[in-house]
A and B are shown apart, each in its own frame.
Chain A
């Protein structure tokens, strides 16, 4: 079982208790409510009625509620088992707008269900694609997951929306109060104050919004106009299909799957103090849950869904990552689908509070990505994979006009900084794998060359392989110990050939030479004997070689000796 990191209050397997589950669930739903803007954008773009917008939001709650619960399942093939909420995110926006304009809501729903089937199918192959997603690729994806949210977060923070086209001083004051409160509760608050820092910050924000008039009578009237109870109108608009829209929806599904991969990787990392690499089987379950969620979205009559990075950021910030919170969120969303008046509390959330909440959550998300990237040694190949991909991703935000004329089929890739950075990272990683040998050798003559050459050789290989620095350090230390002992004790006068082989899970080193075998004792010699017993230094060196490696053995045949060292990676 993974070791719980010390910064978590409630780890993935822990139960925070009913009251905390409800409050934490509401805290997450408040942040997710920001995504209700996407159904409204689609409805406005295709000229449907406000009633349809309400229906679409209601269906979004139902579909994403079920999707979030599925994602939290930790038994069986469906679900990653993490608090990894799903929402109607931007992944399907471009494709949905195309479908909506071409054939209305029924076409959106039909195509979304097909995209979900593709995503579910794709998930079955992920476990075999480990080499495609090394730490630098997944870290870049996770970083971009956070960066992608920045444009929308900063606009909202400054109070810019469709009715306010320039930053507004009052809105900024509310946003600063909200973010300031969240940060203060999070940094200086202990226990429950940190746990509910986002919710408490939002309450401060709502109070500031009411005091400054940003939250006014109109907002309350909008809320009161919504019916208290209403049965969700499932599959109200039917389904249709057009071949021409298949490509953009498949690209959207792929974007959603890649985003899920990045997000589930983050969840794995934040829940395991000893995290080393992505668990692709677990990620497959997460992508399958997302695919099924999208099939459900299409069948119920909602937009496509993908994982909410902001909510994962919130879970890091508050130190509560229990999967039971996912069930709580799912339950609250499903209930809200039946009670539109309560749901509208979230829909009328003032823009600056949304912006502050997003910035709060995204800060943690970006750092999680950078930590994954820096968990491995970086060489120039990896620098290009990471650097070029982030540059390509940011170009979507910095110079969006550049991609205005790309073919509509591939527009979803170029409409999202995350999608473009992800595709770039995957392709560059595969490209730069050309020429990286899985094994490398060096031949050194004891007594004539310094063991520093071994460290330089291993560091160079470690960077090329993207190995963990601590494993490379141990291997180099063990090899140096042997090499120095061989020279000082005359085990050989001939060159020692050292061969290192690497894959993601193993680092194996073989040292072959003509000469006497080294003894690798299991018992450590007494340190004080080192100054009295002439044989003690060699015994200590052998003991160190054995201890530095996870497994060590020596073979000898016809005057040739072979030291084999294995290191878990």
Chain B
């Protein structure tokens, strides 16, 4: 798993490459937790290059969303591939996140 960070206005755009599972999930959390501690609360996760996500990693996304919301921010998802979206749907996570295919539109939603 690789994480690419970019910022626009007050939004942290994180491009996640590779797999998010029980092994890489903690690494993801390790990189994101300091951002939240530093005051970041709006996250746009670009999942165009995410190959796989397990339910354990979904739980970490949920945790991130909760911490963001607690601080008055939110987590949105961008360019989710169809097979990854299927996992989100299966797990009942599609109601918990906003999904976007266009980055500008996603940024305007914050």
Contact = CB atoms under 8 A, between A and B. Distances in A.
A537 B56 contact: yes
A485 to B, nearest CB: 8
A237 interface: no
A273 to B, nearest CB: 15
Interface string A438-451: 00000000000011
Interface string A369-396: 0000000000000000000000000000
B21 A527 contact: no
Given A450-B23, A531-B62, A531-B66, A481 B54 contact: yes
A390 B51 CA distance: 32
B35 interface: no
B55 A544 contact: yes
Contacts of A452: 19, 21, 23
A548 B90 contact: yes
Nearest to B1: A452
Given A451-B23, A452-B19, A473-B83, A527 B56 contact: no
Interface in A422-476: 450-452, 455, 470, 473, 476
Contacts of A543: 91
A537 B21 contact: no
A258 to B, nearest CB: 35
Given A530-B62, A531-B66, A455 B22 contact: no
A472 to B, nearest CB: 11
Given A477-B52, A531-B63, A537-B55, A484 B21 contact: yes
Max chain B C-beta neighbours (<10 A), residue from A476, A524, A540, A544: A540
A488 interface: yes
A526 interface: yes
A130 to B, nearest CB: 28
A451 B54 contact: yes
A541 B91 CA distance: 9
Per DSSP, chain B at the interface is mixed
A480 B66 contact: no
A450 B90 contact: no
A488 B22 contact: yes
B28 interface: no
B22 A544 contact: no
B33 interface: no
Interface residues of B, number: 22
Given A452-B23, A477-B87, A480-B21, A527 B52 contact: no
A455 B52 contact: yes
Contacts of B54: 451, 477, 480-481, 484, 541, 544
Contacts, number: 69
A452 B19 CA distance: 8
Contacts of B93: 527
A547 B90 contact: yes
Contact of B55 (A473, A481, A526, A528): A481
A484 B56 contact: yes
A487 B22 contact: yes
A481 B20 CA distance: 12
B92 to A, nearest CB: 5
B59 interface: yes
B21 A450 contact: yes
Contact of B52 (A470, A480, A485, A488): A480
Interface string B18-55: 01011100000000000000000000000000011011
Contacts of B63: 531
Interface in B45-97: 51-52, 54-56, 58-59, 62-63, 66, 83, 87, 90-93, 95-96
A527 B22 contact: no
Contacts of A527: 62, 91-93, 95-96
Contacts of A537: 55-56, 59
Contacts of B66: 531
A566 B66 CA distance: 36
A306 to B, nearest CB: 40
B22 A451 contact: yes
A492 to B, nearest CB: 15
B48 to A, nearest CB: 17
Contact of A544 (B21, B52, B83, B91): B91
A544 B90 contact: yes
Interface in A275-315: none
B2 to A, nearest CB: 13
A484 B90 contact: no
B110 to A, nearest CB: 22
A531 B90 CA distance: 18
A530 B90 contact: no
B92 A541 contact: no
Contacts of A528: 96
A541 B56 contact: yes
Interface of A: 450-452, 455, 470, 473, 476-477, 480-481, 484-485, 487-488, 524, 526-528, 530-531, 537, 540-541, 543-544, 547-548
11 contacts: A451-B23, A470-B83, A488-B22, A488-B56, A526-B92, A531-B66, A537-B55, A540-B55, A544-B55, A544-B87, A544-B91
